[in-house]
Structure 1
């Protein structure tokens, strides 16, 4: 059996180089702020893990204020270290605010990681019906009884009013059905249960009728 050929991906190589440089800058900044030994190496790991956790939350559950907030905090921490180690700060005599920020980062990162791991994404809520509209009458009065002479004057066949035609089912593009199937498979893999129509509609951002049509094709 032939072994698969090892191919170098330029994007992965670039990502590895950029990650290594950012890791080194965070380590140098933490060491300059008084965090020596293993603590200086733990800071870049903490920043990168928080950045990855927030990005994974955005990819798996969609945009949310919580995930965007912690993604930007970790991104600013990483970019700030890259800029600070480029000669804009005197790392031989770091300012007090830098020492304060580095010392307080573990508590901030712990809070962000806990919220990202244990805060569920709130699904879209269905709007409540308008309670200001007049309520329907509880009972409808019965029509007066028709006597035999009056019944004789009633025509034998009375045409009933035509009922409105049912709205045709919306046409669902094949690409949208494939995307919905991937979303449903991902939901079942994570939760162990099939995705319901309301959750599918919230994840796809489509109207209720279109969501029902898509769910019918996923059965």
Structure 2
């Protein structure tokens, strides 16, 4: 189902104002000596410059460049409306009017080029805040603890209890490695290594740790 077209008073008013302004600009250009298609090109040029300046203001925010060319195009449009209302003798247009109409194309081209190709200034408040992802944060590794400080501050571990008879047989190579680990632990801490520490250092099951501890005693 097509939506019903309802008349909009503001839209109708805009069409009427645009048509009248277009006609006034054409009449003013024609009176200044621009005949034929040239007289019709002047109102198009003025309106296009006005639209370009307004778009720059709406998209990039207020700026001196956009406001300057917006006011120039607005004065040209309003001036044509006032001039055709009988304030000027269009049958004998003054020299300054001929000069202004003749120089308008170059002025409009300059304004349109500046509005289109001049980049908008970005301020520090326009920049998006930088978000640092927790996955990309580089953490400084903590220094390794001093063995002497560990020996002083760490509480003495519980004495290694007498293990029961081993339920599994430990490989000789693993027993030799465990003996080296136990000797290093005694050298660093001055204490005998306990079963829990030995199992953690060797990463073996509890039964295997018990079997190795039995061979270290």
Both structures adopt the same fold (TM-score exceeding 0.5)? yes
How far apart, in 2, do the equivalents of 1:198 and 1:25 lie? 42
2:127 pairs with 199, 202, 210, which one? 199
> 1:149 maps to which residue?
none
> 2:8 maps to which residue?
9
How far apart, in 2, do the equivalents of 1:122 and 1:3 lie? 44
Q: Which runs of 4+ in 1 moved over 4 A?
A: none
> In the alignment, does 2:53 pair up with 1:59?
no
> 1:18 maps to which residue?
17
> 1:77 maps to which residue?
76
> In the alignment, does 2:113 pair up with 1:114?
yes
Task: Return 5+ residue gaps in structure 2 as ranges.
Answer: 132-217
Determine which structure has more spread, i.e. the larger CA radius of gyration. Answer: 2
Residues 162-218 of structure 1 show CA distances to partners (whole Å, capped at 9, x for unaligned) of xxxxxxxxxxxxxxxxxxxxxxxxxxxxxxxxxxx8524xxxxxxxxxx679xxxxx
SS in structure 1 at match of 2:12: helix
Shift of 1:124: 1.4
How far apart, in 2, do the equivalents of 1:212 and 1:72 lie? 38
Shift of 1:3: 1.2
TM-score calculated relative to the size of structure 1: 0.58
Aligned length: 131
How far apart, in 1, do the equivalents of 2:32 and 2:68 lie? 25
> 1:34 maps to which residue?
33
Shift of 1:58: 0.2
How far apart, in 1, do the equivalents of 2:50 and 2:39 lie? 18
TM-score calculated relative to the size of structure 2: 0.58
